[in-house]
Structure 1
Amino acid sequence: MFGLTDIATLGSTVTAWALVALRVAVALVALGACAAISRYPDSVPVSIRATCCVLVVGLGAFPVLCWYQPDAMAWNLMSFALILMAVYVIFPNRFIYAAAIGVGASMGFGIMLLIQGSLRTDDLVALVLMLILGNALGTIAARRFHLAQREQFRSTILLQEVADRDPLTGCHNRRVLQGGLLDAELARAHRYGSALSVILCDIDHFKRINDTHGHAVGDQVLVEFAGLLRSMARAAVDSVIRYGGEEFLIVLPQTELAGAHALADRIREAFANASTSAGGGSFVSATASFGVASVPAQHPHPPATFEALISAADEQLYAVKRDGRNGVRGAIVTATGQLRSCA
Structure 2
Amino acid sequence: MPSQDLSPLRLTIDRRRAEFADPEFEDRFLRHFLPERNAQLKASLLFSAFFYVAFGVTDLTTLGITPIAWAMVALRVLVGVAALGGYVAVSRNPDSVRVSIVTTCTVLVVGLVVFPILCWYQPSAMAWNLMSFALVLMAVYVNFPNRFVYAVAIGVGASVEFAAMLIFQDTLNPDDILALVLMLILGNALGYIAASRFHLAQREQFRSSLLLQQLADRDPLTGCYNRRVLQSGLLDAELARARRYGSALSAILCDIDHFKRINDSYGHAAGDQVLSGFAGLLQSMTQTTDGSVIRYGGEEFLLVLPQAELPEAHALAERIRHAFANTPTAIGGGAYVSATASFGIASIPTLHAYVPPKFDALIEAADIQLYAVKHGGRNGVRGTIVSATPEPLAAGA
If the length of structure 1 is used for normalisation, what is the TM-score? 0.74
Structure 1 counterpart of 2:68, which letter? T
Q: Structure 2: which 5+ runs fail to align? A: 1-53
1:54, distance to aligned residue in structure 2 (A): 2.4
SS in 1 for 2:344: strand
Alpha-carbon separation, structure 1, partners of 2:244 and 2:95: 24
Distance 1:161 1:256, change over 3 A: same
Q: Kindly indicate whether the alpha-carbon contact (under 8 Å) linking 2:341 and 2:380 is maintained by their aligned counterparts in 1.
A: no
Structure 1 counterpart of 2:396, which letter? C
Match of 2:355 among 283, 301, 304: 304
In the other structure, the counterpart of 1:263 is: 319
Alpha-carbon separation, structure 2, partners of 1:266 and 1:138: 60
* Alignment map for 1:1-343 (pairs within 5 Å): 1-41=54-94, 43-89=96-142, 90=144, 92-93=146-147, 95=149, 97-174=150-227, 178-180=233-235, 182-183=238-239, 198-203=251-256, 222-230=275-283, 233-237=285-289, 238-251=291-304, 253=308, 256=312, 259-263=315-319, 265-266=321-322, 269=325, 288-293=341-346, 304=355, 309-321=362-374, 323=375, 326-333=378-385, 340-342=394-396
Q: Kindly indicate whether the alpha-carbon contact (under 8 Å) linking 1:302 and 1:334 is maintained by their aligned counterparts in 2.
A: no
Q: Structure 1: which 5+ runs fail to align? A: none
Q: Kindly indicate whether the alpha-carbon contact (under 8 Å) linking 1:256 and 1:295 is maintained by their aligned counterparts in 2.
A: no
1:94, distance to aligned residue in structure 2 (A): 5.3
Distance 1:244 1:33, change over 3 A: farther
Alpha-carbon separation, structure 1, partners of 2:60 and 2:134: 24
Identify which range, 84-93 or 216-225, moves more after superposition: 216-225
Q: Percent identity?
A: 60
Distance 1:189 1:7, change over 3 A: closer
Distance 1:39 1:219, change over 3 A: same
Q: Kindly indicate whether the alpha-carbon contact (under 8 Å) linking 1:303 and 1:333 is maintained by their aligned counterparts in 2.
A: no
If the length of structure 2 is used for normalisation, what is the TM-score? 0.65
Q: Kindly indicate whether the alpha-carbon contact (under 8 Å) linking 2:277 and 2:329 is maintained by their aligned counterparts in 1.
A: no
Deviations 1:74-127 (A, max 9, x none): 1211221332343345574452x4444334333332232233322233222211
1:314, distance to aligned residue in structure 2 (A): 1.6
Structure 2 counterpart of 1:10, which letter? L
Alpha-carbon separation, structure 2, partners of 1:256 and 1:267: 17
1:316, distance to aligned residue in structure 2 (A): 0.6
SS in 2 for 1:201: strand
1:59, distance to aligned residue in structure 2 (A): 0.8
Q: Kindly indicate whether the alpha-carbon contact (under 8 Å) linking 2:321 and 2:341 is maintained by their aligned counterparts in 1.
A: no
Higher-Rg member (1/2): 1
Alpha-carbon separation, structure 2, partners of 1:221 and 1:107: 65
1:164, distance to aligned residue in structure 2 (A): 3.5
Q: Kindly indicate whether the alpha-carbon contact (under 8 Å) linking 2:93 and 2:99 is maintained by their aligned counterparts in 1.
A: yes
1:295, distance to aligned residue in structure 2 (A): 6.5
1:33, distance to aligned residue in structure 2 (A): 2.8
Distance 1:148 1:158, change over 3 A: same
Distance 1:313 1:275, change over 3 A: farther
SS in 1 for 2:287: coil
Q: Kindly indicate whether the alpha-carbon contact (under 8 Å) linking 1:171 and 1:226 is maintained by their aligned counterparts in 2.
A: yes
Q: Kindly indicate whether the alpha-carbon contact (under 8 Å) linking 1:52 and 1:87 is maintained by their aligned counterparts in 2.
A: no
Alpha-carbon separation, structure 2, partners of 1:294 and 1:34: 44
CA RMSD of the aligned region, Å?
4.2
Distance 1:246 1:189, change over 3 A: farther
Alpha-carbon separation, structure 2, partners of 1:250 and 1:300: 21
Structure 1 counterpart of 2:234, which letter? G
